[in-house]
A and B are shown apart, each in its own frame.
Chain A
């Protein structure tokens, strides 16, 4: 009898309204609670990552350990360099950052930013208070991520969500563990765009910074959409200058199992580079080559200025911007089929092995102050 009464009560009054709140008000109060509980679901997998030593605070060449009897020498350090705190206005990684456990046997995803100084010691602290030294795995420079490994077992894992299930406008919370042990830090925002950095990152307007780089960005239900990393389309480190600007990136993880496998195998990966710039006076279809970089894969396969690229990997090139997307979404080392036309000739097909942007060009790009430079607008500079 009582059971029947209770059941009918459910049908009569299915929700318990908070008194004297407008619909929007209870929405925010409920949202707060849900955010906190979703944070709690992921919290056990968030770690603190601290780095010691490295290029900034280097040991002298004569290691004192060598003098002490019976002690194994420390890893040989490079000679101490004078590196100011903020060369060219960049932030240098020296503080703690965050990481996310991605396998229960101890692989941890971090932002590559944390390794900028090539540290000699990496310390990982888990949510349960235990600390472990970590060894380095591989790095993906195009995504700003790296893997490190600790010797531990049965570590807690978070649930991931694929980019296809995400929508612009939904909540995105960037978590980190650099302020204190008790609870992860959280910065709130929304998904601002998908497929940024040529398909590698979800853009969010939650503040991301060294305070939460390497930490997970979660959706309302506590599923991980990616880890916060500093990124920019030109691949410049100066993207760290965009910290806390409302422009943040979560490198998506669930859709790149093959990349993760390569990182576990200690590979260092870069964005693909063909070595051409397109003319922007030709808006499509296809893209007209304006310049070829010396020593580039484009030069290697005999592309010339004036050629029109028609398709990449079987996909028709709509315009120069689209060409950039088709090329840069790939990784250095990939082989891809190109179709191009010279003058009025017949379309030709060729397979090219994409390389990585030469270090000199990457460093030159890093020094640029002007953030608007489209990557292919080098034609003016080359004149």
Chain B
């Protein structure tokens, strides 16, 4: 009864309901985009053509863009075009050539209203397959300054893109997207569907077509931007950190089946050398993260500013080629100089810095509870300095003596309880501590204390960016705040200890410095209730959308293939598809597949020698085989029963432009089945004999992605990506795949799964006896072949029999367009005597069609 009720309700469902749902979802997206658009602007240089894009990230007018849009820092102002059509000026505040970032500050609006702005999101939460959209001004199309909006998915995360000279314009940890971005999009925002800025678009990969998007764009991740924002907001020339060493991933000397990150080279006077690291040592961890590849290390270091303190784990190489016990040390990163040394005092003027300081102070969380507050510095040998504030009175307990503030005076408390007046230094110490240590205050007092301060730059406190606010006085008192306004630390000169004390306190630990030297084993304790930062979620989230789920499920079934290379034009890398649990991998047949030199890299980074099976010449594919044990946990892809209809969604997986190395994930693009097409297609350098239908798609397919997989929404394998195909119909390059069901006979024969294919020669060319049709075309010959006009028709020929006459213009043979005499001849060649051809031709103003039967040539 219940079942029939549901069945009935299904029958009665209005056909328009799914349309209504879809329209509602569409409206939601339209609204999300409209909400953030006012913050996106066109950024142009005065007196120079061209420009890029930018996004306002704070209501006070802070604007983020690429450094290469701003260009030389000598130009202090940029012209900004807002989507409401108005133009404004913005001054260049801070620059980061290393990251390719720049921060501008808009002059206050004439009506003093706050600027529309967009919030920065968490790029670490991005998943492959997640929907994103970009806004900007490609090709300066926004003559009314309304930005261009493009939609796509995240194709890859944590990609490393080298810069020109390994210093500037390096994109060490960027987001790869297939949302189309083109020249002019630079500096503009990449949004997640919640409308948060997760990246700044800045680069694209290009092919031989020129500087247009081919489905691979790169955005600087918001995480990296947040690391440099404090220095940028202070108007500085920010610099990146470096370990001053090079590492590479090699088989470990004590166990060649294991890949280890080894020191390839290092500067003799570098900090790592100081701590005993030598050539050939293994680097095991960076800031607590185990190292899996040298790329990963470059990615982790690349997003950190110069001077950031990091923790390195390493194992020294022994004389017997084994590795010793793991050791750890902490060091500040060296500076990767992109020119700041020539301009060391670059910093914004005080009024500007005061303005941005207010921005940060405005984020200090309100409403912290009243009551006693304290903070302690603790040393490894039992040293202790504790600071307590209660009812406006400060008490210091330390090995240097216990102090108490009372009625403006400082009292020294003896052990026997007696009280003495404190020394001048002790009084100064108490005063310094009272006016510098931010853990001792409530929110409003912290705000009041800092509002006389000035932003001087930033620092990383246990891997999180913090702002340095310098308080007035001797120039050495600073308060450190995280981006959310919570306390990160402080710095002051202690007159009693006679050192510059720096305290850093983050979620993952604390550090204490005396005169810039890290005090090993020291830590800071802050009880609950103080203004310290709250742990937010971090790390990768679970897939939530269908595309994210499909990506997570099927990316491991596509593999990386490396082969032999000898010529510049031959790509030594490609993708392949796992097609059996016995370890069979299908890829395109290509020159680089050489016996003994072909290797398959799986998603876990493991490398396997591959055996080569005979190729299928007609299809242009080849099977490889690796050890079945290697693919034990992986799912082979299952061919779809048929190619889905035009307009069906598809995911394309492969190693575009070799962006993924080792265990890094392959790239994913998203699109639809455009069409199925069989004629008029040719590959780059040769004509393809394959007469079957190719699946044409607009999910971008690039070098390296060839041999990868096209997958439908229900997870079935639709086809194997071919090389870029040129259509003779349109003279354009298109993305295509060979349908998987056309591959099944070849697969069955060689993987032994299912029935063996009955005839390998099923596609053999028929008997190609010369044919007679009786049509003589007016052919000028040579390259300038004219249209296929009939000059005359032979008596008694098939053409005469169907009434073809001189001056008829042959337009088509069957469904193939015949534009020239040469095309006519090449089409006829594919047929044999007895074949019936439908000839479409034009006679004056009429289009006619007749069926012609070919005869054998006499």
Contact = CB atoms under 8 A, between A and B. Distances in A.
A15 interface: yes
A181 B649 contact: no
Given A36-B646, A319-B87, A95 B847 contact: no
Contact of B647 (A82, A186, A325): A186
B112 interface: no
Contact of A179 (B85, B649, B675, B731): B675
Given A179-B677, A188-B698, A247-B138, A170 B30 contact: yes
Nearest to A321: B143
Contacts of B418: none
Interface in B192-242: 209-214
Contacts of B791: 64
Given A16-B10, A39-B646, A211-B734, A371 B5 contact: no
B141 A180 contact: no
B79 interface: yes
Contact of A30 (B22, B211, B819): B22
Contact of B140 (A9, A58, A132, A372): A372
Contacts of B17: 14-15
B729 interface: yes
Contacts of A370: 49-50
Interface string A347-383: 0000000000000000000000011111001001000
Main secondary structure of the interface of A (DSSP, over half): loop
Interface of B: 5-6, 8-10, 12-13, 17-19, 21-23, 25-26, 29-30, 32-34, 37, 46-47, 49-51, 79, 81, 85-87, 133, 138-151, 179-184, 209-214, 544-547, 549, 645-649, 671-678, 680, 696, 698, 713, 727-734, 778, 780, 784-787, 789, 791, 806-807, 809, 811, 815, 817, 819-820, 840, 842, 844-847, 849
B541 to A, nearest CB: 14
Nearest to A24: B545
Contacts of B648: 32, 36
B676 A205 contact: no
Given A211-B730, A242-B212, A245-B213, A220 B22 contact: yes
A191 B140 CA distance: 17
Nearest to B849: A131
Given A183-B675, A195-B146, 5 more contacts: A22-B549, A178-B729, A179-B676, A243-B732, A372-B49
B47 A245 contact: no
Contacts of A315: none
Contact of A52 (B183, B211, B676, B819): B819
A1 interface: no
Nearest to B81: A321
A374 B728 CA distance: 34
Nearest to B6: A13
A21 B427 CA distance: 69
Contact of A221 (B19, B213, B840): B19
A28 B547 contact: yes
B8 A9 contact: yes
Nearest to A68: B806
Contacts of A374: 49-50, 140
B34 A169 contact: yes
B8 A65 contact: no
B713 A32 contact: yes
B9 A16 contact: yes
9 contacts: A9-B5, A24-B547, A28-B713, A32-B648, A92-B731, A133-B842, A168-B30, A186-B675, A209-B732
B744 to A, nearest CB: 23
A281 B46 contact: yes
Contact of A180 (B182, B547, B677): B677
Contacts of A71: 806-807
Contacts of B50: 370, 372-374
Contacts of A27: 21-22, 25, 546
B10 A95 contact: no
Given A194-B146, A244-B732, A169 B30 contact: yes
B81 A187 contact: no
Nearest to A184: B646
B647 A39 contact: yes
A281 B675 CA distance: 50
Contacts of B780: 60, 80
A16 B6 contact: yes
A94 to B, nearest CB: 7
B646 A185 contact: yes
A127 interface: no
Contacts of A31: 22, 649
A59 B546 contact: no
Interface string A151-195: 000000000000000011111010000111101111111111111
Nearest to A33: B18
A9 B5 CA distance: 6
A284 interface: yes
A53 B806 contact: no
Nearest to B846: A133
B801 to A, nearest CB: 20
Nearest to A185: B675
A324 interface: yes
A121 B675 contact: no
The 3 closest A-B pairs by CB, nearest first: A246-B180, A372-B50, A25-B546
B5 A186 contact: no
Contacts of B789: 59, 64-65
B784 A57 contact: yes
A107 interface: no
Q: Count chain B CB atoms within 10 A of each CB in A13, A28, A169, A371 and give the residue with the most.
A: A169
A247 B210 CA distance: 14
B213 A36 contact: no
B532 to A, nearest CB: 37
A27 B28 CA distance: 13
Contacts of B671: 187-188
A82 to B, nearest CB: 7
A141 to B, nearest CB: 18
Given A186-B646, A281-B46, A170 B140 contact: no
Contact of A185 (B8, B34, B696, B732): B696
Given A53-B786, A220-B23, A181 B647 contact: no
Contacts of B18: 30, 33-34
Contacts of B22: 27, 30-31, 34, 220
Contacts of A321: 81, 87, 143-145
A312 B151 CA distance: 36
Interface in A46-87: 50, 52-53, 57-60, 64-65, 68, 71-72, 74, 80, 82, 85-86
Contacts of A178: 729-730
B777 to A, nearest CB: 10
A265 interface: no
Contacts of A322: 85, 144
Contacts of B674: 179, 185-187, 211
